[in-house]
Amino acid sequence: MRAPRSLALRLALAAGLWVAAGLGAAGWFITGVVVRQVEAAFDARLSGLLDAAVAAVTTDTHGHIVVGRAPAGADFDRALSGAYWQVTGPDGAVTTSRSLWDQTLPAAQSGHEGIAWRDIIGPRGEPLRLAERDLLLPDAAGEAHVAVALSRAETLAEIARLRTVLLAVFVLLGIGLVGGVVTTVVVGLAPLRRVRRALAEIRQGRRDTLDLDAPGEVAPLVAEVNALIATNRATVERARTHVGNLAHALKTPLAVLRNALEPSHPDLPSARAEAEALQGLVQHHLARARTAARATSVAAAAVSPLAVAQDIAPALRRLFADRGLLIEVTGASTARVRVDAQDLTEMLGNLMENACKWARGQVSLSVADVPGSVVITVADDGPGLPEQVREAALARGVRFDEGTAGAGLGLAIVADLATLYGGALDLARSDLGGLRATLSLPGVALPPVG
């Protein structure tokens, strides 16, 4: 089993990588700029010394190249000081600074205009930066070549120190930024840790809800969890109620069935009737349990009650063909309810089948789309139900042994399903003379066409 990944660790690692990449790029850029500035300053000084050396070069009365005065600005007099100049005449004669002692700089490069730059190795093996140019003087037999070289050892050491300092600064800055990011992540995820601890307390029975003062980003999660807890508790309570109702409803049929099967006076017809009643009770409570689970989970798709009724009507016409019943289905085809299609079929099927059982010759179903709900009316021309037993007929899903004989389980099932979906079932006398069952369910507005 894979170990759980820490969100805080993942965020800290991602932030650390971004900080390292950003600071690395910034350090590389800044270090490059500083190094180029230092080298540019060194080359500018070397160019100034070359100009001073050029200014010191003259010709004698015979047109030979001579150095009138030693260039100033560097230690050209101390042997092997790291600052050197050299002048090469047109005839190949070489004049050098005292600092070169018995050494010379590399031969001049030809074929260039202006100042030429080279990195060479000096008399002591030190790195030198050399600047050279050609010089044409009046009265001279040809071009002279002037070269000045300076040791780069101090400059390179300074660049190395700058690199070290910048690296240390950026490393410390990176550590500080990563530490700040980690602290921010830990503090920012603290509400989630509180939620986790509160959920553990709920599981252990020490807390009822997530009564936390959560920030705006976590508050919706807390609210949804509280709603889920409330829904689960309601589901458990409904399950307990179903079990209690079923146990209470089974007591009387089981007692009658036990008495009917006594060897002294067996009553098989009564036993068979009670067995059928027991089967109906179990099926009814199973249907309620399934519907309760569906109603509290994913919302069902919008269903047309008129289309469902039109599918049921042909089956009922065939079932009651010997009685010649007139079954009419009319109403708004655009009406929609957000009810599971199977549950809607069960509700309308029970209402229409109950009407067909008691009708003398006519059953009608109409669908009306009213603001906020859909009203489905099923009427028949049968004997109907007396007003004093209508409420008991709808309550049989709670206390089956208190229902009126002949009312059946269908109306109680419809009432229970309607309540689970936020609707209601009402019984009254119909204009046809029999029973009128009015089923109200929350409606769903269709999107506008076009």
| Percent residues over pLDDT 70 in the chain | 79
Quick: pLDDT tens for 391-405. 777 765 433 334 333
Q: What is the pTM of this model?
A: 0.49
Instruction: Name which of 403, 174, 130, 154 is nearest 284 in CA terms.
Output: 403
Instruction: Name which of 154, 103, 109 is nearest 128 in CA terms.
Output: 154
Which pLDDT does position 248 carry in this prediction? 59
pLDDT at 299 over 60: no
Q: Which residue reads 């458990």 in tokens? A: 236
CB 333 within 8 A of CB 369: no
Mean of pLDDT over the chain: 81
Give the sign of the dihedral formed by CA 256, CA 258, CA 262, CA 268. positive
Instruction: Name which of 354, 346, 429, 359 is nearest 387 in CA terms.
Output: 429
What's the Rg (C-alpha) of the chain? Answer: 51
Which pLDDT does position 307 carry in this prediction? 94
| Percent residues over pLDDT 90 in the chain | 26
Output phi, psi for 363, to 5 deg: -135, 135
E-assigned strands of 336-434? Answer: 337-338, 362-370, 373-380, 424-429
Residue ranges per structural domain of the chain? 12-158, 219-292, 299-442
Quick: pLDDT tens for 34-91. 999 999 999 999 999 888 888 888 877 666 777 777 777 788 888 888 889 888 888 7
DSSP H helical ranges for 206-267: 219-260
pLDDT at 368 over 90: yes
- Under DSSP, is residue 443 helix (H, G, I), strand (E, B) or coil? strand
Question: What is the band of 298 on the pLDDT scale with cuts at 50, 70, 90?
Answer: very low
Which pLDDT does position 158 carry in this prediction? 92
Distances (CA, A) of 384 to 244, 335, 437: 31, 28, 10
Which pLDDT does position 397 carry in this prediction? 43
Question: At 123, which amino acid appears?
Answer: P
Q: How far apart are CA 400 and CA 435, in angstroms?
A: 21
CB 151 within 8 A of CB 107: no
Question: At 182, which amino acid appears?
Answer: V
Helix H or strand E segment including 118: strand 116-121
Please report how many Cα atoms fall inside a 13 Å half-sphere around the Cα of residue 113, on the Cβ side: 0
Question: What is the band of 274 on the pLDDT scale with cuts at 50, 70, 90?
Answer: low
Which whole number is the average pLDDT over 258-276?
Answer: 67
Q: How far apart are CA 377 and CA 430, in angstroms?
A: 10
**Domain 12-158 in CATH 2.60.40:** no
CATH of domain 299-442: 3.30.565.10
Establish whether domains 12-158 and 299-442 are of one fold.
no
CB neighbour list of residue 11: distance below 8 Å, 6 or more residues apart: 181, 185
Give the sign of the dihedral formed by CA 287, CA 290, CA 291, CA 292. positive
Q: How far apart are CA 115 and CA 133, in angstroms?
A: 5
